[in-house]
Amino acid sequence: MRDAAPQTIYLADYTPFGFDVDEVHLTFDLAPSATHVRARIRFSPKPDATDRTFFLHGEDLTLLSARIDGETVKPKITPEGLTCDVPSIPFTWESHVQIDPAANTALEGLYQSGGMFCTQCEAQGFRKITYYPDRPDVMSTFTVRINGPHPVLLSNGNLVSSGDGWAEWHDPWRKPAYLFALVAGDLIAHRDTFTTMEGRKVDLALYVRPGDEGKCAFGMQALKDSMKWDEEVYGRAYDLEVFNIVAVDDFNMGAMENKGLNIFNASAVLASPETSTDMNFERIEAIIAHEYFHNWTGNRITCRDWFQLCLKEGLTVYRDSQFTSDMRSAPVKRINDVIDLRGRQFPEDQGPLAHPVRPESFQEINNFYTATVYEKGAEVIGMLRTLVGPAAYKRALDMYFDRHDGQACTIEDWLQVFEDATGRDLSQFKRWYSQAGTPHLSVSEDYKNATYTLTFTQHTPPSAASPDPQPLVIPVAVGLLDADGNEVMDTQILELTEAKQSFAFAGHSAKPTASILRNFSAPVVLEFAADHAALLAHDTDPFNRWESGRALALASLLASITKGTAPDADYLQGIATVLRDDSLDPAYRALMLGLPGQSELAAALHRKGDTPDPQATYEAVEAMKEALAQTLKDDLPGLYADNQVTAPYAPDAAQSGMRALGNAALSLLTRLDGGDTAQAQYGSATNMTQQLAALANLIRAGRGDAALADFEAQWKDDRLVMDKWFALQVSEAKPDDAADTAKALTRHRDFNWKNPNRFRATLGALAQHHAGFHAADGSGYALLADWLIKLDPVNPQTTARMCSAFQTWRRYDQIRQSLMAKELDRIASTPNLSRDTTEMITRIRNA
Ligand SMILES: [Zn+2]
């Protein structure tokens, strides 16, 4: 049971726990419906504590006994935990609880997935396992004994000893309870080893269900690459004798960095050419790196409280993006990150869910694992590195690891090492952590007496989270080109600190062309009437060259939507020229063929004071694709043929770039040949990238039925491939059919709605189908609401996260607004709605 009125928790109210935890011993007797957990914990009162309340978190636990120093005690129990009178000197707490993993569908704490036991404790799942001070600033060593009939019994740290039906693990590194993990099951290990730069051998294992052992090699290589990269770039070596990864089918997130025992959503680790696309491979490599990098940024140095979540997530996302840039193409990675930022973080930052990178209050912390904390948090670190330079960044990071290893830290600690390493005052920069909203940066130019002047005005729209936004420190990378496209001023970092600020560049005999915000040096909305055609043709900064094409496409699409104009001929010719340039990376050219997303267009219309019409937006994008196909009609067959890979499949940057460009060409070709090339590709495909792209094009061409049936027959036993089959039918449906398609799929025998991956593949795909979700009759809204109401009592976390589909509801016309308000109210009035979903719906509805 939960309290009727959810409590709000404030950063300002932080108080330390009054006790140190010296060591933790846990014993698990595993049974699906009646697992017994015995805890023996050594507590020491802190001499300087102001609050000595002995409160242990605990939810959904049956307490069978409790003792202090061997004497039975009777604690006072509430739905949130227990309090007890305790000695004023060090003492041993012992408890014995019973829990029910089989009934745990929320997938927080100890639960079952396909017959195995596994755990997810971040943020507050450990309190569903035993009574404990479940807060990240309480750190301890853990010794864990597992008794169970399973062949594989795993926990954190190193294996101490094991026998038939039991195993004992010890983690020598002090850690918070959110990093605890346990796995028990009938699993197969894919093994390897890694020798650290300090010469220590580490045993690596990736545990999977029988049948999946052929999908482990890539993940293992990604792990070894990550370990080596963190040594070379950050000087950080691994610190245990073993590193284990386990793949789990039922998982709310992508993966979890538990010390020495990472637990992964199977979709984020299992890979083979036949079943995974190039994008899957790249994502898996990035997630494995991300979780591994947490060993230092998250585990060795953790967060003092959950308000500091960006301390570990922003930094670790930044580190994994550096890794991917090094392993693959840096410009391609940067462009993909910005597409993602604009697709997910900008809408959040510009709507009712806006919050600072470090929030100051929450009701349910699960609702703050957001694009703002993660992706904007990473952008803030990128800006910091740009401002201080790579050498000072490295000094600051070395100082951070030296000074704070073994501690639970704050954003203040993080910024302090940068101040100490560089002598800079970062008090204004710190606003990036406390101020919500996407800044707008408008730029005007002036040229006289051989001096070129740029004037910047920054403005962050006020929001409920930040009603009175102040000027930020914004690093703006600027380069200047002459009329022939030669660089006449290399990239400089301009440091904006004021609301309005000018920078003059003398000695230019002709007015230069400015390339502003190179490499997207700050997460802002840039408003500048740049010479996009010239930059698309010549910019030496690959990001801004791509961005110029994007800006021209955006302007053309907005004009089509609001004025009914035809696609911009200059844009079409500019893109054609870039595509014909064989010296450019195929992956980069494939990105050039992309168009702004429909929700991005809706946001741009909203910014201009227009009401977006989803159907008109959809039609404008279709017309633009048609125009691209016509403009490139003589090039497409060659472009397609030249980018067919003949070598054996490899998921590397070079091959996947060719496949990306070949498939981008295919999607335009399909408009010209009605799907004949796609049909041929479907028939000859030997990897999932080619098979899935062909299938998508056949659906778009209206001739997908046979291929869909064939695909299902081929892959019906592979749950991860079937997720793609579910998702593709929804995402490729015509707007009027999207809700019906999703609804029909929810009746399919393989629609297991309690599995988060399958739920997201079907209903999540509908939420992301802009014109389909916003269908004029409200069918998309109603279907999603039906399913959120159904899922909430089973899995509040996944339900709450998907509520964000409604976050932009105030942008649309009155009819759509009232249809969405009706569904929001219907969800809100559901009896016993979870704290997670209640908080999300309330924030969205109050927009
Ligand atoms: Zn993370």
Residues within 5 Å of ion ligand 1, judged at the Cβ atom: 313, 316
Q: pTM to 2 decimals?
A: 0.98
Averaged pLDDT for residues 501-512: 98
What distance in angstroms lies between residue 313's CA and the mean position of ligand 1's atoms?
5
| Ligand 1 centroid distance, CA of 256 (Å) | 7
282 C-alpha vs ligand 1 centroid, how far in Å? 17
Bridge pairing between strands 19-29 and 242-248? unpaired
Average pLDDT over residues 172-182: 98
Burial per residue of 224-244, b for 16 or more beta-carbon CB atoms within 10 angstroms, e otherwise: bbbbebbbeebebbbbbebbb
Selection from 114, 121, 185, 176 nearest residue 148 by Cα: 185
Contact between 495 and 522 under an 8 Å Cβ cutoff? The reply is no
CB atoms within 10 A of CB 32: 12
Distance CA 117, CA 654 (A): 40
What separation in angstroms does the CA of 588 have from each of 190, 262, 431, 434, 745? 35, 33, 34, 35, 35
Q: Which residues contact 205 (CB under 8 A, 6 or more apart)?
A: 189, 190, 191, 192, 242, 243, 244, 245
Q: Evaluate if residue 57 carries a pLDDT over 60.
A: yes
Q: One of 108, 168, 291, 348 is an active-site residue; which one?
A: 291
Residue 725 CA to residue 750 CA, distance in Å, equals 11
Q: How far apart are CA 269 and CA 263, in angstroms?
A: 10
Q: Is the dihedral of CA 49, 52, 54, 59 positive or negative?
A: negative
Distance CA 762, CA 236 (A): 41
Q: What is the pLDDT, as a whole number, of residue 3? A: 44
Report how far ligand 1's centroid is from the alpha carbon of 603 (Å). 28
Max Cα-Cα span within the chain = 89
- Measured in angstroms, how far is the CA atom of residue 357 from the centroid of ligand 1? 15
Mean pLDDT of 163-192: 98
Percent of the chain with pLDDT over 90: 99
Tens-digit pLDDT profile for residues 710-751: 999 999 999 999 999 999 999 999 999 999 999 999 999 999
Residues 6+ apart with CB under 8 A from 651: 218, 271, 273, 276, 278, 281, 282
Q: How many angstroms is it from 294 CA to the middle of ligand 1? A: 7
- Residue 495 has phi, psi (to 5 degrees) of -110, 105
Please spell the DSSP secondary structure of 702-741, one letter per residue.
Answer: T--HHHHHHHHHHHTT-HHHHHHHHHHHHHTS-HHHHHHH
Contact 99, 128 (CB under 8 A): yes
Measured in Å, residue 727 CA sits from the centre of ligand 1 at: 25
Residue 268 near residue 254, CB atoms below 8 Å: yes
C-alpha–C-alpha distance, residues 103 and 47, integer Å: 42
* 259 Cα to the center of ligand 1, angstroms: 13
Tokens (6 digits) for 582 = 């064989």
292 CB burial (10 A radius; 0-12, 13-18, 19+):
buried
Name the band, by pLDDT with cuts 50, 70 and 90, for residue 88. Answer: very high
- Per-residue pLDDT at 7: 87
Q: What is the pLDDT of residues 538-563, one digit of tens each?
A: 999 999 999 999 999 999 999 999 99
What is the chain's percent helix, strand, coil content, to nearest 5? 45, 20, 35
Residue 1: pLDDT band with limits 50, 70, 90: very low
Q: What's the pLDDT tens digit per position in 312-343?
A: 999 999 999 999 999 999 999 999 999 999 99
- Over residues 745-770, the mean pLDDT reads 98
Alpha-carbon distance 491 to 493, whole Å?
7
Helix axis angle, 377-388 to 309-327, nearest 10°: 70
What local confidence, expressed as pLDDT, does residue 5 receive? Answer: 59
CA dihedral 379, 385, 387, 388 (to 10 degrees): 160
Would you state the pLDDT for residue 59? 97
CB atoms within 10 A of CB 846: 9
Mean pLDDT of the chain: 97
* Strand stretches in 196-238, DSSP E: 201-208
Asked if the model's pLDDT at residue 4 lies above 90, the reply is no
Distance 293 CA to ligand 1 centre (A): 9
Instruction: Report pLDDT digits (tens) over 616-630.
Output: 999 999 999 999 999
Q: How many other C-beta atoms lie within 10 A of the C-beta of residue 35?
A: 21
For residues 400-427, give the mean pLDDT: 98
From ligand 1's centre to the CA of 317, what distance in Å?
Answer: 7
Round to whole Å and give the CA distance between 183 and 192: 20
Determine the distance separating the centroid of ligand 1 and the alpha carbon of 312, expressed in angstroms.
7
Q: Which two tokens stand for residue 563?
A: 């004025």
Task: Give 773-804 as a DSSP string.
Answer: HT-TTSHHHHHHHHHHHHHTTT-HHHHHHHGG
291 is catalytic: yes
